[in-house]
């Protein structure tokens, strides 16, 4: 029984990893669709999201079933409930990739506004953060989780760069750019929101391991 439970916990690791890889893939593809101005590729992300939603439900069911059948002790119970939270965050992240794809569809038939530099950078930051946050969960690695929480500042800075440039250098100078600048500005915000969800994952990992709340107090991690 005990050993079987361990096997099932490992299965939960694998499922969460699969979910994370799918979420990263959705972000990567949405930014590729943006770079290529490819409406077809953007639409594929909408279909892909159905699969991610289904996996989220399956993982959630497995977690509740695991608790109901094995009635785990405090440490394992907390690991499973943290898994449920991470699962929900990953589903939200995938939804934000869909939001990006929708903005790509709005832009696909309009002329290019500007070369993309900071948005692809922000996308890379987001994907790396997800990779590290999930790694931290599986390995119960608090130091790695703390690194993720601190990375969120870089995401905030990049988002602000994109936003300030679009408002000051484009919309405020030439009103005809507004309908193209707003979707780009929103994409930067979707990516930054993805980083926020990833920060939540890392904070949940820290709480799971240390019982210490770092939410909204990242400055304490630096001491």
Q: Is 40 in the site for a copy of itself (CB under 8 A)?
A: no
What is the per-residue binding string for a copy of itself in 186-215, x denoting contact by CB under 8 A?
x--x-----------------------x-x
User: Which of 1, 7, 47, 73 touches a copy of itself (CB under 8 A)?
Assistant: 73
Determine the 3-state secondary structure of 152 from DSSP. helix
Cβ at position 75, least distance to a copy of itself in Å: 10
Q: Is 185 in the site for a copy of itself (CB under 8 A)?
A: yes
SS3 160: helix
Residue 105 interacting with a copy of itself (CB under 8 A): no
Closest CA to 131 of 151, 111, 112, 160: 151
Residue 198 CA: distances (Å) to CA of 5, 46, 74, 99, 130: 28, 21, 25, 17, 6
Tell whether residue 220 is a contact of a copy of itself (CB under 8 A): no
Nearer to a copy of itself, 124 or 182 (CB): 182
Q: How far is the CB of 151 from a copy of itself (least distance, A)?
A: 19
Opening angle at CA 49, ends 82 and 120, nearest 5: 90
Site map 141..180 versus a copy of itself, x via CB under 8 A: ----------------------x---x---xxxxxx-xx-
Nearest to 24 by CA among 132, 109, 119, 102: 132
Closest CB to a copy of itself among residues 91, 132: 91
**Binds a copy of itself by CB under 8 A, chosen from 68, 111, 115, 219:** 68
DSSP secondary structure letters along 13-76: HHHHHHHHHHHHHHHHHHHHHHHHT-HHHHHHHHHHHHHHHHHHHHHHHHHHHHHHHH---HHH
- Provide CB contacts within 8 A for 74, sequence distance 6+: none
Site membership for a copy of itself, residue 64 (CB under 8 A): yes
Q: Which residues bind a copy of itself (CB under 8 A)?
A: 49-50, 53, 57, 63-64, 67-68, 71, 73-74, 77-78, 81, 84-85, 88, 163, 167, 171-176, 178-179, 182, 185-186, 189, 213, 215-216
């Amino acid at each position: 029984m005990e050993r079987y439970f361990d096997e099932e916990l490992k299965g939960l690791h694998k499922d969460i990893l699969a979910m994370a890889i799918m979420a990263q893939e959705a972000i990567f593809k949405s930014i590729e669709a943006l770079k290529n101005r490819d409406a077809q590729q953007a639409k594929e992300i909408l279909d892909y999201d159905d699969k991610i939603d289904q996996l989220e439900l399956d993982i959630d069911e497995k977690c509740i079933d695991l608790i109901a059948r094995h009635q785990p002790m405090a440490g394992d119970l907390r690991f499973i409930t943290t898994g449920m939270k991470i699962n929900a965050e990953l589903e939200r992240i995938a939804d934000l990739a869909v939001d990006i794809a929708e903005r790509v569809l709005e832009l696909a038939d309009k002329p290019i506004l500007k070369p993309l530099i900071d948005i692809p950078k922000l996308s890379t930051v987001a994907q790396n953060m997800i990779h590290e946050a999930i790694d931290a969960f599986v390995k119960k690695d608090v130091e790695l989780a703390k690194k993720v929480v601190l990375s969120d500042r870089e995401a905030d800075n990049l988002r602000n760069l994109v936003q300030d440039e679009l408002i000051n250098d484009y919309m405020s100078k030439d009103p005809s750019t507004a309908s193209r600048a707003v979707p780009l500005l929103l994409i930067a915000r979707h990516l930054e929101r993805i980083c926020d969800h990833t920060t939540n994952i890392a904070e949940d990992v820290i709480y799971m391991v240390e019982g210490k709340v770092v939410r909204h107090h990242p400055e304490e991690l630096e001491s």
